[in-house]
Structures are given as structure tokens and as C-alpha cells.
Amino acid sequence: MTTDLPPPHRIVILGGGTAGWLAAAWLCRALQMPDVTLVESGDIGIIGVGEGTFPTIRTTLAALGIGEAEFLVRADATFKQGVLFEGWSTGTDSYFHPFNLPVGGEDEALLPHWIADADPRRPAWADAVTVQEQVIRAGRGPKRPGDPDFSGPMNYAYHFDAPRFAAYMRDISIAAGVNRIEGTVARVERAEDGDIAALVLEDGRRVEGDFFLDCSGFRALLIGRELGAAFTSCASALFNDRALAVQVPYPSPEAPVRPYTLATAHEAGWTWDIGLTERRGVGYVYSSRHASQDEASATLHAYVGAKDGSLDPRLLKFECGYRETQWIGNCVAVGLSAGFFEPLESTGIMLIEAALKKIGDFLVPGDRTARNAAARSFNRLMAGRFERIVHFLKLHYCITRRTDTAYWRDNADAASVPEPLRDMLVQWRYRAPSRFDFLVDLETFLPPSYHYILYGMGFATCLPADVARHPGAAEARSTFARVRAAHAGACAALPDHRALLDHYRRQAPSI
């Protein structure tokens, strides 16, 4: 077959940081592309202040051919088994979103029986269908020292130091042959057909390529400024647009390290609290429409127990949203240039992973018609994924029962809820969520995650009597009993989280 496009041998990535260097590592190590160049400016810092991840990161790291101990040490990583939400529903409540799927991997058969159980002593939904909540509360790690890399009895992801992770990805990328060029882009040179031909740096150097990845962060230098892809704001549903971030040392080197993200609700937003080996990363995400920077700073100080003025938090300004067109011509946006959501549920790096894996499938030799078709498919899938994430994140806010501040009242206002989510919530008052509510190829969060949030927040589903008594009740009761009986054994079989981290650091003494 003849083509009017050369194979995309020369790949140019604009921007370093987490997105750029993870993309470089993926292209050169997982996809074994031979000609990858990354251009980054020493004058432009990275956004990352500490990252939470999604369990998919383990598959990504394994595909890069690195060891888990090496990764943990180089990125100052710790294990994350889910999120503990404090105060989101009533102000005094607490619930877990664990990473484990319900026992057996399918919870549709169990959920109606749990809903129909009127016993006030029944366990929380997450605790009824997985042992992971008990493992997390006991401060246990998700695996044992002898388990293979990137696998264990519990499903897990990581917390890590973003600059250290980016530096680690840079080192393995350069060792694998990625060409790093330091410089600032002065202008973009276009070909006659509209494709990007080269990046022209301030010192006059030209960096030519066949295909370009825009990892330039919020600037979106290529996809936005040069190619004109519009930004779709989600501010009408997701109010938060500011964050104050600090690093908090532990009181002692032996202090426990939480094996989860702690997300605590406040008057105009929420704090994240993640544990690394030597410090905590803490930040207050809030809505500037509902709190001033001074008020937010006071909330952060109070949360960490510091006196006013004793912290020097870093202020981040952002708008939640995304570009519906993320691939134009021979350029695709990856990372913040494609879109950004507040750090709730750690979608940032997962979206980088999703984009890179699709690029690997779609970026193949072919004519221009085939490439443009691939771009349209990519854009539909990524825009759909971003849209569904908006629904999932909004779910955390819109079913709150808090009315103590304008922030929570506004979040519960039906006018701020996207119509597809609003339609599902209306139905879920009278039936349990169904697999038909979810588009599998567009979902980041599977139905069990929706169930963990819905029923962790105390959402009320009123089932018809015939549904509540449908066949399978005895099997469901047996399953719930089996999970309860397994709690103690699971906690006893897994090590203390910090002890597990210390084990891995002893495994990699020379790193």
C-alpha cells in the first residue's frame, strides 16, 4: 500500500515534568521507538507538588522494565490503597473508597441485599464487600515482602514526590536513548499542509519531527496556542480553582505512614494529606468564589496545627476542564495541556497513562486519511473519558447532606450537576446502579467505585419489595459473613506499612 505520510519515526515531546518524561519513557522503553527527542526549558518549573496515582500505574511501570524497589526509592514512593473521606456527607462522617473490587469482582448481585438490610449495625458497604478497609485502618501495606513486583493481595497504587519521579523517568529515558534538548520555544514552524514541521528555539536551533506531543502544561503551547484547540471549562460543576500546598515533616523518623490518601472536607473545599517516607504532602483545594486566600490559609494552618504565618504554602491557580480536541494533525496533547481536574481521586497521571496507551495503538504508519481517522477516534475516547470523570468527581459533592456553608449548598444545587449524572441519581433513588449506566470504554472509574462513593456518602436507594427479596439472598448473606470472617486474617498476614517500605529500601541500597 502506498502512503502519503512517512512513518512517524521522529517523535518530539515539548515539556518535561511528569507528563513529558513519563511519555518519553513509555515511547522509548515500552514502545521501543528509536528516535525520541524531548525539549524542555530550565526556566519553566513543573507543577507537581506531590502525586497520588491510580492502580493502573503498576502496569505502566512494569511495562517500562523497572523494579518496584528501585522505583520506590528513586521516587520516594509509598503505597496507596484508596481514599479515606472525612466530613463530606454530614461534616462528621467518614468512609473509604478502597481500590479492591468487591469480593468476586462483581457487586451487582450483592448490592440490593445490602441496601435492603435495615439493621443499623450492618457494616459500611465498602467494609461489607472487601477486607481492604480493615487493612487500611490497621496501617498495613498491600503486599508482603516476598510478593512479586507490582502485585500483591490488595489492589494498590502509590504516592510519590513528583519532581523526583520526573527525574527518575528522565534518567531511564536518557539511558534508553532519548535526546534531551534544553531550550525555550520561540516559535512553531508549520508545513504547507498545516502540520507542525519544527520547534524553533530562542537561540535559533530547529527541532524537526514527524509527530509532536504537547506536554507543555497549562500553557498548551502547541495544541492550544498554535493549533487553536478550545478549552472546555467544567467550572459550573467543579467549583474548586485554587490550592495551597505545603510539606509537613513527621514528628519522628518512625512515625506511621498512612497507606491511603486522607481527604478532609472543610468550609470551602477539602485538604489532601498524603504520606511519603520523610514527610507529608498536605494541600487545601478550595473555591475562590467561596473563600479568600487568607481564609484558605487559615484553614490550612488550622488543619496542620501550625500557628498563623508559620507556613509558606505554595499557591496554585487552575480551572477544571479539558480540550475536546486533543489530537490535531501531527500533534497530540498529553497531561495538563489536554486538561486538568482537581486532585480528587488522582486522575492526573492516570489520564497521561490513558493517552499514552492510546497513542501507542493509534500512531501507526498510514496515509493522511487513516491518521485523521485515528485522531477523531482518539478525541472521542479522551473527551468521553474526561466528561465521565467530571460526573464521578461531582458525585462526591452533589449528594452531600451538608448545608452549613454556601459552598456545600451550591454543590448540592441540581443546577450545578451535569444532566447525565442528574438523570442517574434520580433513577438510583429507586433502583440500584446497573452496568447499563456505564460506558466501559469511557470509564476511568468502574461501577464499584460509584457504589463506594454513593453509599459511603449515605445515599438512599428505596428498592421495591420484590427487588429486595430477589433470589440470591442466602448467597449474599454467606458472602458478607465470609468477608467479615476474613478481616482479622488479612490484617495479620500483611506487614506494617512503614516496615514494608523499609524492606524495599534495604533491597535497593545502592540507589
Chain segment 491-501, per-residue pLDDT in tens: 999 999 999 99
pLDDT tens digit string along 299-340? 999 999 976 667 889 999 999 999 999 999 999 999 999 999
Q: For residue 374, what are the contacts with CB-CB under 8 A and spacing of at least 6? A: 327, 362, 363, 364, 366
C-alpha cell, 511: 540507589
Residue 248 to residue 272: CA distance in whole angstroms: 12
Proportion of the chain above pLDDT 70, given as a percent: 94
Q: Which of 278-287, 447-456, 472-481 has the lowest mean pLDDT?
A: 472-481
The side-by-side arrangement of strands in the sheet containing 78-80 is 51-52, 157-160, 78-80
Query: pLDDT category, 466, cuts 50, 70, 90?
Result: low
**pLDDT score of 440:** 82
Of the candidates 423, 473, 487, which has an alpha carbon nearest to the alpha carbon of residue 135? 487
- Once rounded to an integer, what is the mean pLDDT over residues 474-487? 92
**pLDDT score of 169:** 97
Residue 204: Cβ-neighbour burial (10 angstroms; 0-12, 13-18, 19+): exposed
Residues designated as active site: 80
Flag whether pLDDT at 149 surpasses 70. Answer: yes
- Once rounded to an integer, what is the mean pLDDT over residues 253-280? 96
Residue-wise DSSP of 165-178: HHHHHHHHHHHTTP
Task: Identify whether the C-beta of residue 323 lies closer than 8 Å to the C-beta of residue 339.
Answer: yes
How would you classify residue 65: left for phi > 0, otherwise alpha for psi between -120 and 50, otherwise beta?
Answer: left
User: What are the residue boundaries of the structural domains of the chain, listed by start?
Assistant: 10-50+161-236+320-390, 242-317
Mean pLDDT of the chain: 93
Alpha helix (H) ranges present in 208-308? Answer: 293-304
- Once rounded to an integer, what is the mean pLDDT over residues 262-278? 97
Q: What fold is seen in the domain 10-50+161-236+320-390?
A: FAD/NAD(P)-binding domain (3.50.50)
Flag whether pLDDT at 464 surpasses 80. Answer: no
Residue 55 to residue 347: CA distance in whole angstroms: 11
Q: Which of 46-50, 130-134, 277-281 has the lowest mean pLDDT?
A: 46-50
**pLDDT score of 1:** 44
346: helix, strand or coil: coil
Flag whether pLDDT at 287 surpasses 80. Answer: yes
From residue 257, give the alpha-carbon distance in Å to each of 97, 251, 263, 302: 18, 12, 15, 21
Query: pLDDT category, 458, cuts 50, 70, 90?
Result: very high
Flag whether pLDDT at 283 surpasses 60. Answer: yes
**pLDDT score of 373:** 95
**pLDDT score of 29:** 94
Question: Within the chain, what is the greatest distance between any pair of CA atoms?
Answer: 74
Query: pLDDT category, 50, cuts 50, 70, 90?
Result: low
Residue 265 to residue 117: CA distance in whole angstroms: 29
Q: Which of 71-80, 167-176, 475-484 has the lowest mean pLDDT?
A: 475-484
pLDDT tens digit string along 171-229? 999 999 999 999 999 999 999 999 999 999 999 999 999 999 999 999 999 999 999 99
Flag whether pLDDT at 45 surpasses 90. Answer: no
Proportion of the chain above pLDDT 90, given as a percent: 84
Residue 92 to residue 428: CA distance in whole angstroms: 24
- Going by their DSSP bridges, the two strands 327-328 and 321-323 should be labelled as unpaired
From residue 228, give the alpha-carbon distance in Å to each of 222, 223, 376: 8, 6, 16
pLDDT tens digit string along 378-437? 999 999 999 999 999 999 999 999 999 999 999 999 999 999 999 999 999 998 898 899
Query: pLDDT category, 2, cuts 50, 70, 90?
Result: very low
- Once rounded to an integer, what is the mean pLDDT over residues 43-51? 59
Query: pLDDT category, 367, cuts 50, 70, 90?
Result: confident
Question: The pTM is what?
Answer: 0.95
Residue 454 to residue 381: CA distance in whole angstroms: 25
Specify the higher pLDDT residue, 468 or 390: 390
